[in-house]
Amino acid sequence: MDLFETSARSGDAAPLAPRAAKGLSAAIRNLAGWDRAYPESAISHLGAWIVAGRKGTARGVAVGFPAGKRPRWTSGLKGAQTSAQGATVLLLDGTHETLRALREALPFLQPQPTGKTPSFGFGDRTGMATPGHLLALKGSGFFPNLAQQSIREMTRTQRAPAEVLDAAVFGALQAGHLTGFGADADHLKTLDDVDRCAEAGFVSFTLDAIEKVIDAAPRMNDADLEQAYQKILAEVPAAKGWEKKYSGKTFTFEKKVAVRMEGRAFREAIVKYGRAIPYWVEMGKRVYQKKKDRPCEIEIAVDETGAVTTGAEHVFITRELTERGMIFQGFAPRFVGEFEKGVDYKGERKVLEDSVIEHAVLARAHGGYKISVHSGSDKFSIYPMIAKATQGRFHLKTAGTSWMEAVRVIARKDPSLFREICDTVRGQFAKDRASYHISGDPAKVPAPLTLKDADLERVYVVEDDGRQIMHVTYGSAFTAKDDGGRWLFRDRIFALLAKEEDLYTDCLKKHLSRHVKGLKIRGAKRATVQA
């Protein structure tokens, strides 16, 4: 069989036919000594073919082409060269250098901005979740933001931005995903955060100016608010013009949304965000400067502020930023009610709907950016409303699911490892929950040692209290060390996920497909057309 010759087609990237893909991946698995090669990864691209595989947790990539006809795009790839059946095969370790070179050579592995397409953000805390994420979105019309990780998550899991992007690039290759993906550096709070993520290759930048936000403004009494307002006037040069521009005015949009900026509403908005405006602009300028050669996009996030984002605040932030030349593709308000991690929405759904509609109207009136919903996993009861209220112009972020489905796999396949992890992280819960929005109570959850194997998944993955404990303690699970400074669980978790990769992928697909179905963007798009 002249498999190697015939598989190297000359056109742009395309999947190999299923039989050829199966045969080629089996041959490469043997040649490379991998545990597995992924048939769905087998593609042809400009005179060569590519196959991805794994040995244990180590990633591998093979690139083959007819002997003596090395395509120019492969010139940046450095690996052992061997020959088989008349073809030259490069066997590459899936290192940062390899994945970076592949990303530079293959346009479909280069992250892209999400633009105005409805998009779904997938944080991947294990670095192995991408194939399941992509399967969940298949045929949905959503654009995937694969490498979506906040600085907080990277710190807690001790992963650098480049590692997070590498994992997404390899996952896309592994899944044979040729239609593009984004990479979102989430909740960046400093210029240094921007630099690190821009250099790593991220193209979406979620800018969070929380360090400059005066979160207490809505809770101040009138005298304190006035004093804080005077301070902003003294500190922020642009603030002098704000009174004339906004105070006492009512802004009306689409004949149905009236935003009143009188009295306290005006002063609260200025005090809360007055210092954040120039800081956002500074961070935005840094993004444009760092990414001047590549398309990129910005999201403005206030979802981690303490009080619900008002229409007045939205109008003020948006107008001031756009006047200073900032273009952004998404705005993440702090919504009414509780968006706790890993569980359904808690709060008045009608009130939430009114506020989502208001923010969506304001977004349409100011350039048509997307409304971004953070902590979006497991909010099944509000998905249809979000799709409809935003007329399909939204971005949904999830992150913890990648970890929670790993927890499910561990509970099912290695109960004793699960008990060790669970016992350790239960002790860390009080500390780990501090920066998260949750109400889970460990006192209500039986200790893992008292549970039968068959009950671990139900108590710690399905039921809310146990689920929230596991949801926020991922950092402790990944970074716990023994007395000798060795990882307690990290390597064992990765080894188990590599061994049970198909189950992990399947669990992710199953759980996240439910999200995608609820969001029904096709229906939402139709609604836009009718309106």
Q: Is 299 a catalytic residue?
A: yes
Please confirm, yes or no, whether 340 is among the known catalytic residues: no
* Catalytic choice (186, 378, 414, 457): 186
Q: What is the DSSP string of 378-419?
A: T-GGGHHHHHHHTTT-EEEEE-HHHHHHHHHHHHHH-HHHHH
Residue 240, CA distances (Å) to 181, 235, 244, 270, 276 in order: 43, 10, 8, 11, 15
Q: Which of 262, 241, 239, 242 is nearest to 250 (CA)?
A: 262
Q: At its nearest, how many Å lie between Zn ion and the CB of residue 332?
A: 6
**Under rule CB under 5 A, residue 303 binds Zn ion:** yes
Q: State the minimum distance, in angstroms, from the CB of residue 419 to Zn ion.
A: 32
CA dihedral for 367, 526, 114, 338, sign (positive or negative): positive
With respect to Zn ion, which residue has the nearer C-beta, 23 or 337? 337
Q: Among residues 103 and 395, whose Cβ is nearest to Zn ion?
A: 395
Closer to Zn ion by Cβ: residue 303 or 313: 303
Alpha helices in 219-310 (DSSP H): 222-235, 242-246, 264-273, 276-290
Q: At what angle do helices 311-323 and 264-273 cross, to 10 degrees?
A: 50
CB closer to Zn ion out of 303 and 501: 303
Stretch that binds Zn ion, among 212-220, 298-306, 352-360, 425-433 (CB under 5 A): 298-306
The residue at minimum Cβ distance from Zn ion is 374
- Options 40-48, 75-83, 110-118, 367-375: segment touching Zn ion (CB under 5 A): 367-375
Distance CA 184, CA 296 (A): 10
Angstrom distance (rounded) from CA 204 to CA 189: 14
Minimum Å gap between C-beta 515 and Zn ion is: 17
- Judged by beta carbon, residue 156 or residue 374, the one nearer Zn ion is 374
36 bridge partner residues: 54
Q: For residues 45 and 374, which CB has a smaller minimum distance to Zn ion in the complex? A: 374
- Does 515 sit near Zn ion (CB under 5 A)? no
Per-residue binding letters, 326-365, with Zn ion (x by CB under 5 A):
----------------------------------------
Task: Tell me the C-alpha distance between 118 and 322, whole Å.
Answer: 22
CA trace torsion 32, 37, 39, 45 (10° rounding)? -50
Residue 336 in contact with residue 351, Cβ under 8 Å? yes
Three-state SS at 89: strand
Residue with tokens 């500074």: 282
| Residue 301 CB, nearest approach to Zn ion (Å) | 5
User: Cβ of residue 371: shortest distance to Zn ion, in angstroms?
Assistant: 13
Stretch that binds Zn ion, among 130-138, 353-361, 370-378, 492-500 (CB under 5 A): 370-378
If one asks whether residue 184 binds Zn ion (CB under 5 A), the answer comes out as no
DSSP state of 78: -
Of the listed pieces 300-308, 420-428, 459-467, 496-504, which binds Zn ion according to CB under 5 A? 300-308
- CA–CA dist 456, 410 (Å, integer): 10
Instruction: Choose among 428, 409, 438: nearest CA to 478.
Output: 428
CB of 372 to Zn ion, least distance (A): 8
C-beta closer to Zn ion: residue 299 or 420: 299
In the region spanning residues 425 to 454, those forming contacts with Zn ion, defined by CB under 5 A, are none
The amino acid sitting at 38 is Y
Size of the site for Zn ion (CB under 5 A): 2
Residues 373-392 that bind Zn ion (CB under 5 A): 374
User: CB of 329: closest distance to Zn ion in angstroms?
Assistant: 15
Nearer Cβ to Zn ion (398/476): 398
Give me the catalytic one of 184, 193, 268, 299: 299
- State the Cα–Cα distance between residues 496 and 126, nearest whole angstrom: 11
Residues 95-114 close enough to bind Zn ion by CB under 5 A: none
The span of 72-80, 152-160, 303-311, 442-450 binding Zn ion (CB under 5 A) equals: 303-311
Stretch that binds Zn ion, among 69-77, 127-135, 299-307, 512-520 (CB under 5 A): 299-307
Measured CA to CA, the distance from residue 144 to residue 177 in angstroms comes to: 11
- Separation between Cα atoms, residue 501 and residue 128, nearest integer Å: 8
Shortest distance in whole angstroms from residue 150 CB to Zn ion: 7
Q: Catalytic positions, please?
A: 186, 299
Which residues in this chain contact Zn ion in the complex, by CB under 5 A? 303, 374
